[in-house]
Every structure is written in structure tokens, then in C-alpha cells.
Structure 1
Amino acid sequence: MSLIAAKHLSVAHEGLPVLRDVDLSIDKGEIVTVVGPNGSGKTTLLKALLGAVKPTSGRIERAPGLVIGYVPQKLHVDHSLPMTVRRFLDLPKRAGNAAAQAALDSAGAGDLGARQMSSLSGGQFQRVLLARALLLKPDLLILDEATQGLDPPGSAAFYRRIEEVRDEVGCAVLMVSHELHVVMRASDRVICLNGHVCCEGAPEAVSAAPEYRALFGEGADVMAIYRHEHDHTHDHSHDHSHPDPA
């Protein structure tokens, strides 16, 4: 059984259709990325899977006892309030010191516990949000454009960390991303969304699909080029001799 599945899912907002007849499923251990233009319903899809938006038709099926960890696109923290990373991980539910440190380590933020939240770089902040989600020991990790605002090296490093989390924790990952040049690297499967599922499958198949190219035009070639280059460098992608950029 899939961890989570949408069956003929449709969602409307103020009477206007946002999603229509969407079918998708996420299986244990896989990394699935949803891509699509602005306004294509990507975030609405995530909200429906999380239970924050009610379908107008269709349904969401979840495996019994499914635990979901969520990393939002952004989170406002009042910088006028002093708060360490460790204290932040106690919200809304207190975490044990060992569990908090383990989550920070998994997220690549193991040395940030004593830092003030207001002093973190964008990449560090996103890794702390990832650690907060990992505290739940999720079966499924959902990320909504979690690298938005990061520079390309920071984004690439974050995606590498997500791959490592999947391998270490064994959770499935569902991501929404607009970064076509890096999404190939971390994805087992890509879903192209534009109100409905235009195409889906292995990254190479989706990047070659006419539906995908009609939406992204020249951007589709960027993905193909990135994949080609990655094929020649993949053996070095997990080289830990150099720290990931923040």
C-alpha cells in the first residue's frame, strides 16, 4: 500500500477550479518532486495531502498511522525575540536533548543548537526547519519550495542533504520545486502539474515529454543538460571531504 495517495482529487477556491482529477501516490523510500508553472496548484496539492484543504471531489488515502513531517516554503520568526535554535525545536512540543541533537545532525545543522535564530543564514534556517520536521520521525517528508531564496550552491547542498535523510531515515519525500536545473538530481520520479497531472515518471522521461516542454520551453533543456553533467559527477556527490555550503 502507498503511504499516501490522491484519487481523482479536485479542489476549487472561491468557486474557481485549482486542481482537477489529480491521481498520485507516494511509496515508501522514494523521492517525488512536483514541478509546474506559477498558479498550477502545487501548493494547493500539498495542502490537500496535509489535510489543510478539503477536496471538492475525490479523496486522499493515507496509510494507517502515517506520520508526516512538513518543511514550509518560509516561516516568520520574530527576530526581536531572543530564541536559540535549541529552544525553537521545543515549539510547539518539548523535545528531548538527544532527539533534538539527532534531528539537527540529520539535517546537517548539528553545530547550530546554541545559535540565535535571528543570526542564521537562509540555508541554515532551512536546515533547522528540516530538523524540526525530522523530530517527528516522519514516514513522509513534505517540502514546499524549501530552497526558495537560497543561492544555487546552497540549493544543491540542501537537495543532497534531503537524499541523505531519505537514505538514513528511510522516509519518503515529496517536494515542490521551481528549480528545474537541480530537481533532476534528487528525484526518483517527477510529476508535472498544471491544474492536472500533465505527465509523470522518471526525470528523463518527463523532461522529454511534449507536455513538459510545452510548459517550460527552453527550461526543459536545462534539466537535460544538468542530468547529463550529473551523470559524470555523481560518484563525487556524496564526498564529505568538503562541507556543504550553508
Structure 2
Amino acid sequence: MTLIQASGVSVHYGGRRVLFDIDFSITKGEIVTIVGPNGSGKTTLLRALLGVVPPRRGTVARARGLRVGYVPQRLHIDPGLPLPVRRFLSLPTRRSATEIAAVLARVGVPDVAGQNMTTLSGGQFQRVLLARALLMEPDILMLDEPTAGLDQPGVASFYRLIDDMRHETGCAVLSVSHDLHVVMSASDRVVCINGHICCEGTPSVVRAAPEYRALFGMGTGGALALFQHQHDHEHDHQKDDTPHAG
């Protein structure tokens, strides 16, 4: 089932063309990541797909009744504002203590409900933002640089959590990211843009594409190796503990 379909989309800001000739779609259950250099239009594309930014040309179609859970790139909260996590998760829709406890446990931070938002660590803060998005019971999670500011293990851990949520809920995941090597292990499909779509496909196809290498070079596989090692190690335990068909 196609959730979002963009056809021939071009976006301009102040007379300047930011995106042009974008054809894109995402289906239920997919993890798709948008990558590109700074200023390439990644966040603009996400906003166009959300319907926040109108295209100059082309169309964006969204499935009827599509529920979107959005995790922003950054969220500023006044340090002087007393805003406990439980209250933050009840904005704008009031949530019960049971709902809040369940979603915080689901994202791996079960003990922060009474903590002020401004005292959370970077990793905790991002997981609370994810919890808020999940309370929408989304058909698609849209994440704009969700791991900015996290260290390498934190990045890998967050993407493992996203993968778990996809399998648990069946939602699609569309992420803008600069964590190139973790992305290459955590995504079903990668879309590399620089004003237009330079290349797209499975991680292995994009990694080998001349257009991708021209933008990013060969880089280092450190984060990728970290994600794969921990992810595979977890699956080894699952194979030991859980019977699988076939």
C-alpha cells in the first residue's frame, strides 16, 4: 500500500529552486532514508511530503486518513519552564498515566515520566520525542535528523529501536539523516539527493553508485560496523531463544 506518492515535485524558496523533478513513494512497512550534503534539500523534501511546504510544480498524494508521527530535528524548550515528561506527552491530547507508562517503556525510558524535559540526556530526549510520535498510532513515522547530537553508540541504539518499532507496529519510517553508515545498515531503501534525486535503491546499490561516492567519498565504516555487530548479536540471541518458521 502506497502511503505517500510525489510526482515531478519542484520546490522554490524566495525565488531559488531548492528541489526539482522529485519522484518518490513510500509503502507500508518500509524504512526509507533520505541522505545528502548540507543544503541539498533533505528537510525541504520531508516538509513537502508532509504538506507543510507547497510544491511549485508537481503533486504530492497521501493515502486517505494517513496518520503521521513526526520527530523534529530539534525542539527548543525554555529551561525555566517546568514541563515534566508526562505533561509533554499529554500535549495537545490528554493521555492517561497508563498510556504514558506503556509508551515510555516501549521506547526504553520507563522511569522518566516525572522528570523535567530540560534535564533529560540527548538520548532520553529523542526517545521521548519518539514516544510522542508513537502515541499518534502512526501509519508512517517521519524523522528529521533524529540522532543529531548523539554519540555513535546512541545513534546505533536509536536506529535499532526504530527498526523494532517498524516490525512491532507495521508502520513505515521515513528519515532524513546524516549518519550515513548506520543508515546503510538500518534502511530498506536509501534516497540520495542534491537538489534532485542523484541515486536511490537498496543500501548496497546506493553505496556503490558513482553519484553517492562523488558526494560522500568512501568514508569509514565504523558506525556501520557498530550497528551491524550489535544488531546481529541481538538476532543471534533471538535465534537461540525463539523458534522461527522455516
Q: Same fold (TM over 0.5)?
A: yes
> Matches of 1:21 and 1:57 in 2, distance apart?
8
Question: Does the aligned pair in 2 maintain the 1:140–1:174 contact within 8 Å?
Answer: yes
CA shift, 1:123, in A, is 0.5
CA shift, 1:180, in A, is 1.2
Which residue does the alignment assign to 1:128? 128
Summarize the alignment of residues 1-246 of structure 1 with structure 2, pairs less than 5 Å apart: 1-219=1-219, 222-223=220-221, 234-237=231-234
CA shift, 1:121, in A, is 0.3
Question: Does the aligned pair in 1 maintain the 2:85–2:114 contact within 8 Å?
Answer: yes
Question: Does the aligned pair in 2 maintain the 1:3–1:28 contact within 8 Å?
Answer: yes
CA shift, 1:49, in A, is 0.9
Bigger mean CA deviation after superposition, 85-94 or 199-208: 85-94
Question: Does the aligned pair in 1 maintain the 2:27–2:172 contact within 8 Å?
Answer: yes
Label 1:128 to 1:182 Cα distance change in 2 as closer, same or farther (>3 A).
same
Deviation by residue 1:171-230 (Cα, 9 ceiling, x = unmatched): 1000011011211121010000111111100001100001101111132xx35x765776
Give the total of aligned pairs. 237
> Matches of 2:190 and 2:196 in 1, distance apart?
14
Q: State the TM-score, normalizing by the size of structure 2.
A: 0.91
Where structure 1 has 5 or more consecutive residues not aligned to the other structure, the ranges are: 241-246
Where structure 2 has 5 or more consecutive residues not aligned to the other structure, the ranges are: 239-246
The secondary structure found in structure 2 opposite 1:3 is strand
> Matches of 2:205 and 2:115 in 1, distance apart?
43
Question: Does the aligned pair in 2 maintain the 1:184–1:226 contact within 8 Å?
Answer: no
Label 1:103 to 1:232 Cα distance change in 2 as closer, same or farther (>3 A).
closer
Label 1:233 to 1:126 Cα distance change in 2 as closer, same or farther (>3 A).
closer
CA shift, 1:231, in A, is 5.6
CA shift, 1:92, in A, is 1.6
> Matches of 2:81 and 2:229 in 1, distance apart?
47
Label 1:231 to 1:144 Cα distance change in 2 as closer, same or farther (>3 A).
closer
Q: Counterpart of 1:51 in structure 2: which amino acid?
A: G
Tell me how large the CA RMSD over aligned residues is: 1.8
In percent, how many aligned pairs have the same letter? 61
> Matches of 1:210 and 1:194 in 2, distance apart?
14
Question: Does the aligned pair in 2 maintain the 1:36–1:193 contact within 8 Å?
Answer: yes
